A and B are shown apart, each in its own frame.
Chain A
Amino acid sequence: MTSIATAGASVTEQHAAIAGGRPWQRLVLLAVGLLVALGLPWFVYPPVAMDIAAWALFAVALDLLLGYCGLLSFGHAAFWGGSAYATGLIAIHFGVPFPVAVFGGALFAMLLALPIGYLSVKRSGIYFAMVTLAFAQMLFFIANQASSLTGGENGLQGVPRSFFGIEAVETDSFFFYYAALPIILLGMWAAWRIVHSPFGRVLVAIRDNAPRARALGYDVERYKLIAFVLSAGLSGLAGGVFAVSHGFVALPELHWATSGEVVLMTVLGGIGTLWGGVIGAGLIVLLADYLASSGFDGIGIVTGGVFMTVVLLFRRGIWGTARHLWLTRRRS
């Protein structure tokens, strides 16, 4: 049976993609990506642009685990939301510049990922998805109960946007976007480095044939745990930026619907493509924003329908389909 990560793209295709084609193609893609990231707040409402950037990093972090380890986590809301709360609390109580708070939140997410990951990587496939889902929901209940710390159902209010006293960044969402973008880009660069490192190749080897990797002497569970913690850390960066951008943290950030949403973005963009998640995040955030502003309250009908269509008919996702077409065209 083909695993979920390789079902879309053939193995040779993935190798071609990892090798990256010709250098000039990579440079063009990188330049286009950077231009879009820099120009985004000119074309969309800046807070929405920030949402897109944060969700994009979240989706990339999930794909690091799903596409390159073959592990579908249905509990990544724990790290996104956990870091959002930690970032918010650090910013409120210590008044540090927001990047410090965000990195503190990401660190908290990684600490959280250690026990959850340790227990979860004992299982794979469908079991892994269910166990991560359940642990994340446990965190949701804890945050709901600890209302003196988290504000319970009211959420954590009044997260400050402190940035070395530079007023433009602290008050204007447009300038805040450019202050927070480096954190997002750093996270994406880290994901890219991890995937293209020897460590990343071992992850792919484990994904494709775990018994063989074990026979070659790799400690499979340890590699999976490290990947899980790294993915949680990147999700934490994204969640922290999201919290500071909104100025408050709502309880639904920890709910399984959030875990599902990031899975949807990753699948829509293309599993195992890393950058597909960026496209998926952009589309879903813009779609949700459009539906909300047009007064349509059944967003689940649209996202649920998109999800089912993608899974039934379109399993390579957008980036995966584009890459497939490009590679088959070049070969012929």
Chain B
Amino acid sequence: MNAVLQYTVQGLAAGSFYALAALGLAVIFGVLGVVNFAHGAFYMLGAVAAAVLLDTVGMSLWLALIVVPLLMLVFGMLVERLLVQWLLPLDPLYNLLLTFGLTLLLVDLVKRRYGVSGLPYERPDVLSGRIQVAGVGLPIYQLFVIGVALLVCLGVWLLMTRTRVGMIVRAATERPELAGALGINVGRWVTPVFGFGVALAGLAGVLAAPFRAITAEMGSDFIIILFAVVVIGGLGSIVGAVAGGFLVGLVEAFGQAYAPTFAQVLIFVLMAVVVLARPAGLFGREEATA
């Protein structure tokens, strides 16, 4: 029982990174129809930016949690304006290829600038150590990550369901032609939405900075698992991205605990089962996934 609680927390913490980043991927796919291969690289940039800001200007984690996503928002909007927008009228595979090229470029740029060994990151004292819950010592930082992820997901959910902006974005996600026909200028939201999705990947990166090794390659496995997450949850489904993220995190944690040899393979087995049984994903709609 104690072990189960411990692995659950561990899995939910790992799942938090997937859920946040997959949320960004889903929003971008929903509004732009682009699968952003560079999402793993943006996650890596978020972590590297947090580490560099701590090292150079001594920026705390608390401040970095706000500043880095804002920087990534601007960076994402620039990427959309300078690169992604030119390929939007074409087959979406072109933007997958473009962002793939961008990934190679960003990873090697970071590698040349900061080397291949990891950057250090000290977590704040408040978040170190363990807290006793039901006789089990749970790492405070993992609980903190889960808390932040849930708060952000809740915030995005409120933004989507309670505000006019959210309504427009949802309409553009679910039925872009219909939204356009009703006089909504879908195109106006393309750049901010792309930036917002990139900011979510950056936020996941900042949260991962004190928790994972910060290297140029940290996004390269991450993006593949992220793809599995959105295939499982249903591409373009916002609920699916979050649920899929936490689910994959749990599968990973329990896999590592009980079948360490197959931990990484289990995620893809889960994906294969979903593709077989429900090709559109757990929360996807059939017509939205062609």
Contact = CB atoms under 8 A, between A and B. Distances in A.
B290 A124 contact: yes
Contacts of B98: 307-308, 311-312
A32 to B, nearest CB: 29
A131 B268 CA distance: 9
Nearest to B91: A4
A130 B231 contact: yes
Contact of A1 (B91, B221, B262): B91
Contacts of A131: 231, 271, 275
Interface stretch (B7-15, B42-50, B99-107, B154-162): B99-107
B227 A134 contact: yes
Contacts of A126: 35, 92-93, 96, 235
Query: How would you classify the secondary structure of chain B's contact residues: helix, strand, loop or mixed?
Result: helix
Given A301-B108, A312-B83, A307 B235 contact: no
Contact of A304 (B94, B108, B272): B108
A315 interface: yes
Contacts of A72: 93, 96
Nearest to A301: B108
Contacts of B111: 297-298, 300
Contacts of B132: none
B289 A119 contact: no
Interface string A93-109: 00000000000000000
Interface residues of B, number: 45
Interface in B98-157: 98, 100-109, 111-112
A45 interface: no
A303 B100 CA distance: 11
B178 interface: no
B35 A307 contact: no
A145 interface: yes
A133 B97 contact: no
A135 interface: yes
Interface in B205-254: 220-221, 224, 227-228, 230-231, 235
Nearest to B116: A297
Contacts of A263: 97, 100
B166 interface: no
A259 B271 CA distance: 20
Contacts of A301: 104-105, 108-109, 112
A260 B279 contact: no
B56 interface: no
B278 to A, nearest CB: 11
B112 A129 contact: no
28 contacts: A1-B91, A3-B91, A4-B94, A119-B275, A122-B279, A123-B275, A124-B290, A125-B92, A125-B93, A127-B231, A130-B230, A134-B224, A134-B228, A135-B268, A138-B269, A142-B265, A145-B261, A257-B220, A260-B100, A264-B101, A297-B112, A298-B111, A304-B103, A304-B108, A305-B101, A307-B104, A308-B98, A311-B97
